[in-house]
Structure 1
Amino acid sequence: MAEAKPREERTGTGVLLMVLAVGFFTCIDSSAKLLILAGLPALQVVFARYFGHFVLAVALFGLRDPSAFRSRAPMKQLLRSLFLLGSTILNFTALQYLPITVTTTIMFAGPIVITLLAVPLLGETVGLRRIVAVCVGFLGVLVVMQPWGADFHPAMFLSLGALCCASCYFVLTRMLSDVEANATQQLWSSGVAAACLAPLVWQGWTWPEGWSWLPFVLIGGFGAAGHIAATVAHRLADASILAPVVYVQIFMAAFSGWALFDTLPTIWTLCGGLIIIGSGLYIWQRERVVRGRVRRPLPVQR
């Protein structure tokens, strides 16, 4: 079986790789929206994303080390892969109806959901301050969704489902971080998704036309590059340092929405995004404080 590489202390490189990963994630969403608006079925776009990812993972890892296909925790790895697949299907379907800035902002609530899931699944203790921050974060999600307003679209529930699936995926990733090598995680997450979708998309297959061939071919590469960069970043820098970097994506999504789809974020999306980001940053800061107390040695009694 493939061995996980040891941690390194190269914070600057880790942060740059995480920014690069976030950029690739924005490219995935932008490519998916372009392809779906061009008439390709959402499931086929998801398949293209994971099949391309799997081909690259095999070329980079599987051919060099066939043992990378073997998992030390196959059931957890399978469940992790299915949660990632579910998140992608729901997110790509939502992108058919919602601006990319809205789906991206809702997904920013991931650290908030992960904080709640960490209690029963990881046995972590969450104090009152972080619980309040979680509630404030969900208030920000409501501001973005505006269930009371005329701009509310039912597809926002798909984004919430994508958020929950993605959060479960990240919790399982945390469980497997010291068990599985990057190669194994890349091969499983992409291979399981491609295998599940292949029989569903084959009969109704629609070939892209004209310019849509470009995002169709590139979307799998964006997925592979983004996940590999994020995994390596977490090996080079602490997760507590990398966590706030994901919020750079709101600027990337806003630029993509303006440049490709001629849409700009609404004032509600911006305000709700600020609330979610503020809540996420507070949770991140509290986790750093709590971990610092746990790691800090007790004073010597003299």
Structure 2
Amino acid sequence: MTYAIAPVEERRLLGIALVLIGFLFFTLIDTSSKWLSGQGFPTNQVVFLRYAVHFVLIIALFAPRRGTALVKTARPGLEIARGLCLLGSTITNFLAISVLPLTVTGSIAFTMPLMICALSVPFLGEKVGWRRWLAILVGFGGVLIIVRPGTEAFHPAALLSLLSAGFTAFYMLLTRKLAGVDSAATQQFYSAAIAVACITPFAFHGWMWPSDPATWVAFFMMGVAGVAGHMLVSIAHRLAPASVIAPFSYFQIVFLSISSWLIFNQPPDVWIFVGAPVVMGSGLYIWLRERKLQKQLSAPIE
């Protein structure tokens, strides 16, 4: 049995609203992870909770309607590699979050578009001109402003955030390769299933149970927020072009800053206000440059 993909609609404002809510859910994942780490939960258990709840929800939502079609994939190797990249991104991100403010990890995470641009040359065969290479270098200069290596403010966990962004970049490149090959539901199934299969053997060492209502909420929030966030972002891309949605991803740093300040009493320092705009500006420039090049390629020849 095949399942038709919902048609594309032109409802840009709704698409923007949904993508912003989606990034709010992604912020809840990081916030819940940091909360659990602060309560003494081991990272292996936090990662397990993130994907176990996600996996159960995917099965409950899609298996009754899709049956075995949910697990059928035309590119199992790519699905496995993609799932491992997402797991690597989550593990390194959660380890960094446990010791660094959300504003720092969030700012470093915005190097991901820069990495995708750089990696698209060897992996997708795309051409990147000198302007975009310069933007990539400037963006990483912004990261140096935030983490300040060689000073007392530098924490080695910043390297974990950078590694997390690298895993995410590979994950996104593999997602591009799977576009039009497997459905979004199948991709979500494999990303959750692979993570659960890999982390389960280590999940129950030092297992803890929540001792207060707030921790119980965080206990289940990561998986719920993961499913909700991915679904909302997927729907948003059906309602509005990617070129319209892409810049709004940077609003997540606002959500992370609010969470970091109000929940963990870690307001952004002055270097975040200097470095983060450099990183985001570089990413926006690359997006604008790619959009311009795409328009030139699609322009009719007279």
- Shared topology, TM-score over 0.5? yes
Aligned length: 299
Say if 1:196 and 1:4 are closer, same or farther in 2 by CA, change over 3 A: farther
Question: Any idea what SS the aligned residue of 1:180 has?
Answer: coil
CA deviation after TM superposition for structure 1 residue 2, in Å: 5.5
CA deviation after TM superposition for structure 1 residue 63, in Å: 2.0
C-alpha distance in structure 1 between counterparts of 2:3 and 2:293, whole Å: 30
Aligned partners of 1:4 and 1:182 also within 8 Å:
no
CA deviation after TM superposition for structure 1 residue 62, in Å: 1.7
Question: Which residue identity lines up with residue 293 of structure 1 in the other structure?
Answer: Q
Once the two structures are superposed, residues 128-164 of structure 1 have per-residue CA deviations (whole angstroms, 9 ceiling, x without a partner) of 1111111100100111111032110011111011010
1:21 counterpart residue number:
22
1:186 counterpart residue number:
188
CA deviation after TM superposition for structure 1 residue 266, in Å: 0.8
1:174 counterpart residue number:
176
Once the two structures are superposed, residues 186-241 of structure 1 have per-residue CA deviations (whole angstroms, 9 ceiling, x without a partner) of 11111111121111112432222213111102221011111111122223322222
Tell me whether 1:198 sits opposite 2:200 in the alignment.
yes
Q: Which 4+ runs in 1 deviate beyond 6 A?
A: none
CA deviation after TM superposition for structure 1 residue 107, in Å: 0.2
2:234 counterpart residue number:
231
2:121 counterpart residue number:
119
RMSD: 1.3
Structure 1: 5+ residue stretches without partners: none
TM-score (ref. length: structure 2) = 0.96
Tell me whether 1:268 sits opposite 2:271 in the alignment.
yes
Tell me whether 1:287 sits opposite 2:290 in the alignment.
yes
Question: Which residue identity lines up with residue 264 of structure 2 in the other structure?
Answer: F
CA deviation after TM superposition for structure 1 residue 3, in Å: 4.6
C-alpha distance in structure 2 between counterparts of 1:258 and 1:90, whole Å: 22
1:259 counterpart residue number:
262
Question: Any idea what SS the aligned residue of 2:40 has?
Answer: coil
2:301 counterpart residue number:
298
C-alpha distance in structure 1 between counterparts of 2:291 and 2:172, whole Å: 18
C-alpha distance in structure 2 between counterparts of 1:166 and 1:29, whole Å: 15
1:53 counterpart residue number:
54
Once the two structures are superposed, residues 110-145 of structure 1 have per-residue CA deviations (whole angstroms, 9 ceiling, x without a partner) of 110000011111111111111111110010011111
Question: Which residue identity lines up with residue 227 of structure 1 in the other structure?
Answer: H
C-alpha distance in structure 1 between counterparts of 2:10 and 2:132, whole Å: 28
Question: Any idea what SS the aligned residue of 2:123 has?
Answer: helix
CA deviation after TM superposition for structure 1 residue 250, in Å: 1.0
C-alpha distance in structure 1 between counterparts of 2:300 and 2:126, whole Å: 20
C-alpha distance in structure 2 between counterparts of 1:236 and 1:14, whole Å: 5
Aligned partners of 2:139 and 2:283 also within 8 Å:
yes
1:147 counterpart residue number:
149
- Residue number among 156, 159, 175 corresponding to 1:157 in the alignment: 159
- Residue number among 244, 247, 265 corresponding to 2:250 in the alignment: 247
Aligned partners of 2:73 and 2:186 also within 8 Å:
yes
Aligned partners of 1:84 and 1:165 also within 8 Å:
yes
Aligned partners of 2:28 and 2:221 also within 8 Å:
no
C-alpha distance in structure 1 between counterparts of 2:108 and 2:85, whole Å: 17
Once the two structures are superposed, residues 232-280 of structure 1 have per-residue CA deviations (whole angstroms, 9 ceiling, x without a partner) of 2223322222211110011111100111001111111121100011111
Identity within the alignment, %: 44
Aligned partners of 1:2 and 1:183 also within 8 Å:
no
Once the two structures are superposed, residues 77-120 of structure 1 have per-residue CA deviations (whole angstroms, 9 ceiling, x without a partner) of 11111101100000001011100000000001111000001111
